[in-house]
Structure 1
Amino acid sequence: MLPFLPPEILDLIVDHLHNEPTALKACCVVSKSWIPRSRRHIFARVRLDAVKATESWAKAFPDPSDSPAHYTRNFWVHGLRAVTADLLPWIRSFRHLEELTMKMFGPRGVSLAQLHGFSLTLKSLHLTHFYVTVSEVIGLICSFPLLEDLSLSSKARDIRADGWATPSVSPKLTGSLLLHGESRYIIRGLSELLDGPHFSKIGVRCNAEDIDSRTITDLVSKCSETLETLYLGYYTLNYVEPPAVDLSNATKLKHLEFQWRGPDIQWITTAIQTAQFKTLLQITIFMSSIRPISPRRKFLGWHELDHLMVQLWTSHSILPKILYCNGPQELVASLLPELTKRGFVHGQEGNRNGFPYLPLRFRS
């Protein structure tokens, strides 16, 4: 006689194998009763890399109502060029997602309206390489009531160009915001939401020509009661100086991070001087592609930052951290002599693109 185990014990055994796909597939052929629990882990994360893979999924599970997509919590799709009538039903079958990532989502003119609210449990949304109006982006965001985290990389067009109207209801957006690229219109749209945003982390990385200080300051002000981490990364073209940012309303800011890649660093000093020193714990600066500086004015700007950071450390116990790559060690030491002497400056192995996109406080 075979020993009997309660279903709860069997479920615990399968759950223990959640990171073992080979073992989970073996469990599926042990007994029909093991299939639902095994599928919950096998299909918890689904990654489709191309159009052919997307079509293969649709062919393998032609009936969306009987698809294992309802087990999926993390869905990553790359190369989806359009949401056709044939593909839409199975996309909407992923109705219990918590995280959605779409890369290279279609050509110019593809509408996001078909995806509105298809998973009401969604908490994290990541979209890259889409070419739509900002009202379409904001409309999609507002269709997910539990949404917390956003990551957007796009060339979204101006919200005023298509009859923009502020949505009457929006999610609280209490998690993190990461924007990469031409971000000013998206920032403006998010700032105008009636029910938010309330981000605890904000990261913006863009060309200095594609942003202005008012849009950043407005967003920081909107999140002044919840914002704990702010990351600003600018790369410059034609030696355009990045905009100064007013942080005086960020009363709970604990971690301030910058990425610098340009001819001047005065904008960082100006931003730090407006921050609330009582709440700040750490200021981190990422520097890449450092070049020899000849004008005396440039040296004075670096020395001013050096003096300010040391003063914040000695007077307010705010930890300074300077990370650099692609720069001569002796040049960095001459730019930041006091910080270097105290051991707050660290060189790293870099590449021609400098540091990765995600700053320290945004990395899992």
Structure 2
Amino acid sequence: MSEIFIPPEICDKIVDFLQNDPAALKQCCLASKSWVPRTRKHLFAVVEFTNQSYLRNWNMLFPEPSKSPARHTEVLRIGCLEAIVHDPATSDWIPMFSRIVRFEIFSAYGNELDTRLMQFRHFPHTLKSLRLTMFSFGPSQSIDLACHFPLLEDLAFLGYNCNCDNPLVFSPPLTSPALTGTLELRIIRGIARTAHRLLDLPNGLHFRNLKLSPHSEEDFPSVEKLVEACSDTLEHLYVRYLPGAGSADIPRLDLSKALKLKDIVFRCNVTDIKWVISALETIAQHRNLQQISIQVPSILPEDEMISGLWPTLDLVLVQFWESHSIRTKILSPPPGREDEHEGLVMADWSVHMLPESMGQEIIDLVEEPKVSG
């Protein structure tokens, strides 16, 4: 019996079909040596270094950059930043990842921040997404790193404070990236300083999506400035503000400049929604708006839900429907899961049924899926 010849392009299609099945891809490597290059493209598309041993093993297995599968990597995640700082082979290790488009860093420490980030300036200019999660966050150094990638679109800064920031090492760049994708800022005690650095970029901000988490009323002016800076491009806005219940000071959020907004998501405490109502009043005349979603961490008993400010919010949402047919939602995750899946779009949340009195059949009510067994 003669052997059946399968054209290489068909083999490639077969391997590509299995790109989300690592176990099957590994079997493909064993099935045929000719399939190895194609399977590597998918097996090493995402590389994570969660600790120093992973990094050490990588350097042992792939000592030669020319033979390293790092050239197939599109997403690189690093959770052992401290180990990389003290790795003498870093200068040889970084250039291996010549085609990454998304880079993520996690660090629980703040010392030597500027030294650590400086090494990654040598990454390729193909980078389009940068995500930095650090306990002690330095906006000057982080934005300086971002400006080394001219094609950068998405930017995410997450951290606790800005105590480690060193503004002396920051000099305004002559040019800055396109920044046309998503900006996410969730920095406790640091949004204002980070926003100030971003607003100083020479080419301006052109984000289509903003995901902002102010942690005090002092952060709201910075949120407004970011929204205004992106007013010509901003289509999607997510604002998360969870102050203490019954906060004495009610911040106002003016979104009147964001005329191209298509949808907006507010996340707030169920007992503190005055700022949401005031923000909705500033976008009442926006013609491009299509959907408003309000996410509350937990649902109170019905008699409390319909008391106080809730009828006012209900009335405001009904007016949006009557004037512009804008779809509105009030959603809540199940108890104990308030911080799970942080930042996902509203459709990804498992939610409870809200009282039927809410929304006068205008608000979408989504029932929690029943769990079998």
What is the TM-score of this pair, normalised by structure 2? 0.81
Question: Which residue does 2:121 correspond to in 1?
Answer: 116
Instruction: Select the residue among 98, 103, 110 that pairs with 1:100.
Output: 103
Q: How does 1:8-87 map to 2 (within 5 A)?
A: 8-82=9-83, 83-87=85-89
1:339 equivalent in alignment to 2:359: yes
Question: Which residue does 1:143 correspond to in 2?
Answer: 148
TM-superposition CA deviations, 1:322-357 (whole Å, max 9, x none): 113579xxxx75xx94515545455759xxxxxxxx
Contact 2:270 2:296 in 1 (8 A): no
User: Number of paired residues?
Assistant: 342
Percent of aligned pairs sharing the same letter: 37
TM-superposition CA deviations, 1:198-244 (whole Å, max 9, x none): 111101124225x4222111111111111111111111148254532
Q: Please report the RMSD computed on the Cα atoms of aligned residues, expressed in angstroms.
A: 3.1
Give 1:309 deviation, angstroms: 0.9
Give 2:93's aligned amino acid: W
How many angstroms apart in 2 are the aligned matches of 1:325 and 1:12? 40
Question: Which residue does 1:353 correspond to in 2?
Answer: none
Give 2:210's aligned amino acid: I
Give 1:79's aligned amino acid: C
Give 1:255's aligned amino acid: D
Deviating more after overlay: 235-244 vs 246-255: 235-244
Contact 2:211 2:239 in 1 (8 A): yes
How many angstroms apart in 1 are the aligned matches of 2:290 and 2:43? 41
Contact 2:110 2:137 in 1 (8 A): no
Give 1:94 deviation, angstroms: 1.4
Unaligned runs of 5+ in 1: 350-364
Contact 1:81 1:105 in 2 (8 A): no
Q: Secondary structure at the match of 1:207?
A: coil
How many angstroms apart in 2 are the aligned matches of 1:2 and 1:242? 76
Q: How does 1:306-325 map to 2 (within 5 A)?
A: 306-324=314-332
Question: Which residue does 1:361 correspond to in 2?
Answer: none
Q: How does 1:1-364 map to 2 (within 5 A)?
A: 2-82=3-83, 83-88=85-90, 89-104=92-107, 106-111=109-114, 112-155=117-160, 157=162, 161-162=167-168, 164-182=170-188, 183-208=191-216, 211-237=218-244, 239=247, 241=249, 243-261=251-269, 263-275=271-283, 276-289=285-298, 299=307, 301-324=309-332, 333=355, 337-339=357-359, 342-346=362-366
Give 2:186's aligned amino acid: H
How many angstroms apart in 1 are the aligned matches of 2:303 and 2:27? 67
Give 2:138's aligned amino acid: T
Deviating more after overlay: 19-28 vs 274-283: 19-28
Unaligned runs of 5+ in 2: 336-353
TM-superposition CA deviations, 1:260-289 (whole Å, max 9, x none): 126421111111111142111111101124
Query: Cα distance 1:24–1:342, how it changes in 2: closer, same or farther (>3 A)?
Result: closer
What is the TM-score of this pair, normalised by structure 1? 0.83
Question: Which residue does 2:347 correspond to in 1?
Answer: none
Contact 2:298 2:333 in 1 (8 A): yes
Give 1:267's aligned amino acid: W
Contact 1:18 1:24 in 2 (8 A): yes
Query: Cα distance 1:262–1:324, how it changes in 2: closer, same or farther (>3 A)?
Result: closer
Query: Cα distance 1:60–1:274, how it changes in 2: closer, same or farther (>3 A)?
Result: same
How many angstroms apart in 2 are the aligned matches of 1:348 and 1:189? 42
Query: Cα distance 1:265–1:22, how it changes in 2: closer, same or farther (>3 A)?
Result: closer
Contact 2:40 2:72 in 1 (8 A): yes
Give 1:167 deviation, angstroms: 1.6
How many angstroms apart in 2 are the aligned matches of 1:36 and 1:85? 29
